[in-house]
Amino acid sequence: MMIWVGLSVAFDCQGAEPGESETAAKELQLKTPTIPNHLEGAVRDLNAQFSEGIDPDKNAVVYLVRLLGDDIFDAGLRDDSLAMLGIESIGNGSPRFAYFEQYVTSVVPKDASKRQDLLKQLTLEFQSANGAVWKSADYPALAQYFAANEAALDELVRISKFPSYYAPILTAENPPTLLGASYAIERRIPYLGQCLSIRASQRMGDGNFAGAVSDLIAVHQLANQLAEGSPLDVSLAKAHWVDSYAFQAEYAILASGMLTADQAKEYQKELQNVSSMAPSQTAADIGERLILRQEIESLKEHDAAFYAFFDWAPASHAEQMKALRAANIDWDLALQRANEVQDETVETLLISDAKRQAEEIDRLNSEVDEWRKRNDADETTLLEALEVDRDQGSRWIGEAVALALRTNIWQRLCTDRRGHVRRDFISVGLALEEYHRRRGYYPAALADLSPEILPSIPNDSHSQKPFTYMRNDDQHVELISWGTNRENDAGRLLQDDLILKLGR
């Protein structure tokens, strides 16, 4: 079934709201999405689960493809990707985002030396403007680049409001592995989010507060779309990456002292309306289980996967492989054991008590260390283990796969907490600025912000305690999060402390 979607000839930067396809998509032709028959097993189920119930016309990814061009897909995956998204043709009636190289070529088509100079200037200005409030006159080349991409960036803001996100997860590898899947769309979203964040700080510097708010909220929404629509660990990491760009701009705007009381209040309201990002246990419980299943299916069906997993050379292990295949490994038991190991990860991430959660993580890490020591010391081969106890040997394979692919639980937890801290830190900072603008001085304590400015004061998710608040005098304060280690990291090469100085 073909779906025709139309757009008025004059595509302005306002764009239509999600679903208003008759005014939002000139020449975009959609059809009923289909998963190719050659996709089987976990890869098919993963894509079926992630795409279930999603209307192509309400899928943000469809419009991201139109914004970026359908050549973003790997050549061997392009046709399958478009079919799974329900795209017949993206047409040519909408703005197309231009990267630096494309933009420079269009501006200076003939002089290679001047193109290189402009590219260097753009790169330097982009780096300098990141995390800073700036005016168009400060970085003229970058301002011109954003002006050239204005319609495309405004379309990105519109896309951020779509209710659904599904991007096909495919791999060109043989044997197939989701660990090597192509993430053509999501690997571009961080840069797009960074552009919107830097444009927001430009708009703030140029006096366009409403435009700055629109851009920053769009970045948060893009991050949420990715985290919710692709519950995989790698996708969640990119979503937090995107979200952090909005935080950098928000931090710079707060530190600039430019916000009025009403502006701080307005942005606070907009920020509170943005939902929290999907937690890491979602990826662990959904996406990572499907990856485990796919890896075990690959071991079952492809000798090459077995050779790679056990680091065997085919020439010297051909007989062992033949014997293992003859041992009739129970792959259902292998998958069952892999899921049991994954259950421990998910259950640990769900623990609400921080102390008990930390103890459980330490226990799981110790168990993994002991498991590896036992296996290093055990000279029994897998074939011998299967001959002695086929069921136990089969379960060991699933256990080995799950433990080999287990993502560091602490890392997942810290990523979640950093996400909460970013949003909450800015919320408290906005409340401090509103209070200061209305009263003429900063509060004696954070508790004074509630309930007049904030209904309640969020804690620092790292410490589960209030953010550190230092009032140097009634006109100068510091809001601090001491990061994952809850210590002052001053002077250390690697640190994640946040120190926002307010007051002029």
Task: Convert the pLDDT of each residue in 253-305 to its tens digit.
Answer: 999 999 999 999 999 999 999 999 999 999 999 988 988 999 999 999 999 98
The CA R_g of the chain, rounded to the nearest whole Å, is 26
Which helix or strand (DSSP H or E) is residue 3 part of?
strand 2-5
What confidence score (pLDDT) does residue 405 get?
80
HSE of 487, CA atoms in CB hemisphere, 13 A: 7
Helix, strand, coil percent content, the chain, rounded in steps of 5: 60, 5, 30
Cα gap 318→324, rounded to integer Å = 10
What confidence score (pLDDT) does residue 379 get?
65
Cα gap 391→399, rounded to integer Å = 12
Instruction: Tell me which amino acid residue 25 is.
Output: A
By DSSP bridging, strand 498-502 and strand 476-481 are antiparallel
Residue 188 CB neighbour total at 10 angstroms: 17
Give the residue ranges of the chain where pLDDT is below 70.
1-26, 176, 179-180, 379, 493
52: left (phi over 0), alpha (psi -120 to 50) or beta: beta
Cα gap 21→6, rounded to integer Å = 6
Cα gap 182→167, rounded to integer Å = 10
Kindly report the backbone phi and psi dihedral angles of residue 500, in degrees, each rounded to the nearest multiple of 5, phi listed first. Answer: -105, 115
Q: For residue range 109-135, list pLDDT tens digits in order.
A: 999 999 999 999 999 999 999 999 999
Cα gap 396→308, rounded to integer Å = 17
Residue 84: closest CA among 18, 32, 19: 32
Cα gap 157→246, rounded to integer Å = 13
Hey, which residues does 501 pair with through a beta bridge? 478
Q: Is the peptide bond before 175 cis (omega within 30 degrees of 0)?
A: yes
Q: Which two tokens stand for residue 332?
A: 């259902």
Sheet with 498-502, strands from edge to edge, namely 468-473, 476-481, 498-502
Cα gap 330→386, rounded to integer Å = 10
CA-CA-CA-CA torsion sign (149, 153, 155, 156): positive
- Residue for token digits 């699933």? 398
Residues making up the chain, counted from first to last: 504
Give how far Cα 317 sits from Cα of 30, 304, 323, Å. Answer: 50, 11, 10
By DSSP bridging, strand 87-89 and strand 468-473 are unpaired
Hey, which residues does 30 pair with through a beta bridge? 3, 87
On the 0-12 / 13-18 / 19+ scale of CB atoms within 10 A, 119 is middle
Cα 418 versus chain centre, distance: 13
Q: Full-prediction pTM beyond 0.85? A: yes
What confidence score (pLDDT) does residue 295 get?
92
Cα gap 204→475, rounded to integer Å = 23
Cα gap 255→264, rounded to integer Å = 12
Contact (Cβ atoms closer than 8 angstroms) between residue 24 and residue 16: yes
Kindly report the backbone phi and psi dihedral angles of residue 88, in degrees, each rounded to the nearest multiple of 5, phi listed first. Answer: -85, -45
Contact (Cβ atoms closer than 8 angstroms) between residue 223 and residue 171: no
